[in-house]
Amino acid sequence: MAVLKMKPGIHEVGAGDWDRTLFDELIPLPDGTSYNSFLIEGSEKTALIDTVDPSKEEILLENLSYIGVKNIDYVISHHAEQDHSGSIPIIITVYPKAKVVTNKKCKTMLMDHLHIKEDRFLVVEDGEELSLGDRTLQFHITPWVHWPETMVTLLKEDKVLFSCDFFGSHKASSKLFMEDKGQTYQAAKRYYAEIMMPFRSPIKSNIKKLEELDFDMIAPSHGPVYNDPDFIIDAYKKWTSDDVKNEVIVPYISMHGSTEKMVIHFVDYLMERGMKVTPYNLTTTDLGQFAMGIVDAATIVIGTPTVLVGPHPKMVYAASLVNALRPKTKFLSVIGSYGWGGRATQILEDNLNNLQAEMIEPIMVKGHPTRKDMKKVERLADEIMKKHKEAGL
């Protein structure tokens, strides 16, 4: 149990999840996560901003009890995903006067996922306000960050923007506010890569919309609160822009060393020519680290052996993940080996069809690569450097 004071009458009453190692049974969490829930006490009404994952509902209830909360009038639900909404049912049971305040779409999703009864809702529109007495909540619909029903709340008088997943980071911490900018940047970029990257376009328009508002603090429902909003807004603008970096990312797997030999030669050749290049051996790499790498690199070159007739199954999995995350990659290629044939490159290309990237001719070699094969690898590296130059990188 821990209650952290943000401002007089505003407390963070959620929970840290220090031991959680996976999100959505997919995303590695090297720093755990937090489910931030904020209690706002106005002169007339009290509001709770989001709740916590149901596994931590006891902590939320204890925190509310610890600071003596007798009544909650409104539970603001920004997003129906259960890590924020999953404890709404227990909250509205313990605090029977509480209304669940959300938009129309989120209401439907909360009814579907949590079976909350219709008469417990207060539906708000984009821009609508709700008075707590001396404090005012103003709601803004921000769809697709990262579900269709997402919204944010501006606490007008205090100039705090409560943003739920938007601008968040998976990081458990004993501190409410951001302390180490470098660490926070990395955690927020990892979060963006894994959760937000497929939604670059709606994020850009939502940022434009939020920039019209007057706030000097952003309080997401995961990770630290930003008392320097420009820090995270500028980072998001960079990540969602069409700009890419002069960088090559090389996810690879090798079973008997042939693909690895090609990958090492490719990486060394580029390094010697001053290029930024990062190999990720997918048998050991944390996929979140790899996802961060593809946020803004111009090129991805996949290294894979052929298993039966296709790419290594782990590479098919990684390609499907990249395809789902839709990075702004400009160029793609594949290098690797085969024993007697196969369709590894075609299968990978099919698995990456969401990317609007140019495929540079892959190099698949039979057996262990020869000197001649290594020359082909060098030619691929030269071609990529040329493409980067032509793209102004």
Nearer to ligand FEO, 165 or 247 (CB): 165
Separation CA 341–CA 142 (nearest Å):
49
Backbone angles phi, psi at 200, to 5 degrees: -55, -45
Nearer to ligand FEO, 106 or 332 (CB): 106
Cα distances from 37 to residues 150, 165, 260, 346, in angstroms, run 16, 12, 47, 47
In this chain, which residue has its C-beta nearest to ligand FEO?
Answer: 81
Both tokens of 26, joined, read 């997919």
Nearer to ligand FEO, 81 or 296 (CB): 81
Tell the smallest beta-carbon distance from residue 186 to ligand FEO (Å). Answer: 18
**Binding footprint of ligand FEO on the chain (CB under 6 A):** 79, 81, 83-84, 146, 165, 222
Are the C-beta atoms of residues 319 and 240 closer than 8 Å to each other? no
Nearer to ligand FEO, 148 or 313 (CB): 148
Tell the smallest beta-carbon distance from residue 88 to ligand FEO (Å). Answer: 14
Backbone angles phi, psi at 35, to 5 degrees: -115, 95
Separation CA 36–CA 46 (nearest Å):
17
Nearer to ligand FEO, 24 or 119 (CB): 24
Hey, how many other C-beta atoms are within 10 angstroms of the C-beta on 73? 18
Return all residues near 318 (Cβ < 8 A) that are at least 6 apart. 251, 282, 287, 290, 302
Are the C-beta atoms of residues 14 and 52 closer than 8 Å to each other? yes
Tell the smallest beta-carbon distance from residue 85 to ligand FEO (Å). Answer: 9
- Residue located via tokens 């495929």: 359
Nearer to ligand FEO, 17 or 165 (CB): 165
Tell the smallest beta-carbon distance from residue 104 to ligand FEO (Å). Answer: 19
Tell the smallest beta-carbon distance from residue 195 to ligand FEO (Å). Answer: 7
Computed over its alpha carbons, how large is the radius of gyration of the chain?
A: 24
Tell the smallest beta-carbon distance from residue 245 to ligand FEO (Å). Answer: 27
Q: How far apart are the first and last CA of the chain?
A: 50
Tell the smallest beta-carbon distance from residue 253 to ligand FEO (Å). Answer: 30
Both tokens of 389, joined, read 């130059």
Tell the smallest beta-carbon distance from residue 147 to ligand FEO (Å). Answer: 6
- Residue located via tokens 């990684």: 318
The dihedral sign for the CA sequence 94, 96, 98, 99: positive
Nearer to ligand FEO, 17 or 296 (CB): 17
Nearer to ligand FEO, 109 or 302 (CB): 109
